[in-house]
Amino acid sequence: MELRSGTWTVGPADGTLVVRTKREGAAARMGHDLTLTATRWHATVSIDAETPDASTVRATVDSGSLVVTEATGGAIGLSASQKIEVETNIREKVLHSEKHPEITFASTSVTSDPRAGSVRGDLTLAGKTRPVTLAVRLDDSSGNPTASATTSIVQSEFGMKLYSALLGGLKVRDVVELSVDVTLPRQ
């Protein structure tokens, strides 16, 4: 099936936007690798099948909507109250959601084949804008196009203070992984 042109607006009902963190430091075995899921976000994906480099992506994420959906590793599991504490720390100490309520992405270029290419754009996170490149795969073999995008984000490049505990013995790695997987609704 040929890639179809069209514009889709997607959000949590259509897929997932996930951030994965890893831990490091002398006390890393005490901490957890986290999977955080954004519960409030939307994106507009415009695909131009005839001129793929004219395709665009724009996304907005509520920076206060990240929730812990998985915590692996650690000496003991993460309790419900600890998950709430982690989510609060992310909002208040890392993302400063009250001051920077939105995370945005606006594409600036798309490779000539968006099926397995890249989308470059400007990511605004915690009030700072930096260029990022998303590795993107599109598939419309089932009749409903699906899109997957991944990138690595270096938190310190956005001026973010990295979370640490136990006198710095437990830290969140500077690089976090972002992935988006959506099914584009039927037009």
Note the pLDDT tens digit of each residue in 26-63: 766 777 788 999 999 999 989 888 888 888 999 999 99
pLDDT recorded at residue 1: 41
pLDDT recorded at residue 75: 77
pLDDT recorded at residue 107: 96
Ranges 6-15, 67-76, 88-97, 110-119: which has the least confidence: 110-119
Q: What is the CATH number of domain 6-183?
A: 2.40.128.110
- Domain extents for the chain? 6-183
pLDDT recorded at residue 169: 62
The model carries a pTM of 0.88
Quote the percentage of the chain above a pLDDT of 90.
Answer: 52
Note the pLDDT tens digit of each residue in 10-31: 999 999 999 999 886 676 677 7
- CA geometry: angle at 149 spanning 180 and 134, to 5°? 125
Could you identify the residue written with the tokens 């951030």? 19
